[in-house]
Every structure is written in C-alpha cells, then in structure tokens.
Amino acid sequence: MNCVTLKNHYLLIKENLFLIIMYFVVTVFTLIMQFRNFELFMVCFTIFYIIIFSPTIILHYTYYLQAKGIKIEFSEDGLMVFEGNTLKTIKDEDIIKIELYMSQSYAKTGYSTGRYPGEDYYYAIIITHSGEIIINNLLYPKLLNIDRYLNLSKFEYITRIFAFLP
C-alpha cells in the first residue's frame, strides 16, 4: 500500500533537517567564538534561513493536508485509490493524461540538484475520462516511479519554480 507515513516525511525532509542542525551548529560556534559582528551575522543568517525554508515548510504542509487519508496502490491495470472507506479503481485506458508539475532541474535530471529545498517537491494530476482529477504528491514514495507503472505516452511534464498545489 502506498500511503503517507512518518518514514515518507523523514525521507523527504532529511536534507532540510541536516541544514537546520547545521544552522544551530553555526549559531553555537559563533556564540563560543564571540565574533565581533555576531548580531549582524545572526540577523542576516536568520533572514536567509527564513527566505530559503518558508516556502518549503508551506509546500510540505499543503502536501500533507492533500494526502491525508488517501492511499494509492499501483497495479497491472492502473490505480486503486482508497479515500477513507471508498475505493476507486482507475484503469490505465481510463486515464486521458497525467500532468507532472515539478522544478526544471527535477524534470531534466530526475532528481533535485540541491540548490533549493523546494525543488524536491512535485505532484501529479491524473485526468480521467469520467472527469475525475486525482492530485498525488511525493509524500507517496512510489510517485517518483509513476512513469514505470503507467503508460508513458500519457505524461506531460510542466515545470515551475515551485510546485505549489493548485
């Protein structure tokens, strides 16, 4: 079953956690060394940190809200979507197209270049003949490999700076 778990959250934000830890290490180091312009350094560093990580925190929270309570399972025929107690089966031939929204670097290379924490976030909108639109996001670990499970001719890659959910 492909669902949102604590492990998925950790896998997604482990690099960000490392940067947060480094921020506190640098802060403690500057306190110990008592640099001359410590206050200026801390103000600049904090502003930089807020500018870099605020969009990432917002992205992660909106992705979490969207994915809460939804489980997706890939099968030979297509997708099985469990939302609460209801099951929707979407066959491969019912899918009109799949739009993948992601950063330019992720679309070209298949992985984040690490220049910005928000590059790791992307999502897919699956449009079916019955008009259903399923928004899936990378809190599901197998979305990274969605093209291996479904027909490649139906994919459309749309690049953005930030992959905010619609």
User: Comparing 12-21, 71-80, 144-153, which segment has the lowest mean pLDDT?
Assistant: 144-153
* Cβ–Cβ < 8 Å for 128, 90: yes
User: Residue 79 in 3-state DSSP?
Assistant: strand
Domain limits, the chain: 1-166
User: Residue 133 in 3-state DSSP?
Assistant: strand
**Percent of the chain at pLDDT above 70?**
67
Structure tokens at 116: 């910005």
Return the pLDDT at 1.
Answer: 47
Q: Which residues contact 52 (CB under 8 A, 6 or more apart)?
A: 116, 117
Distance between CA atoms of residues 26 and 35, nearest Å:
12
Main-chain phi, psi angles of 103, to 5 degrees: -75, 160
Return the pLDDT at 85.
Answer: 83
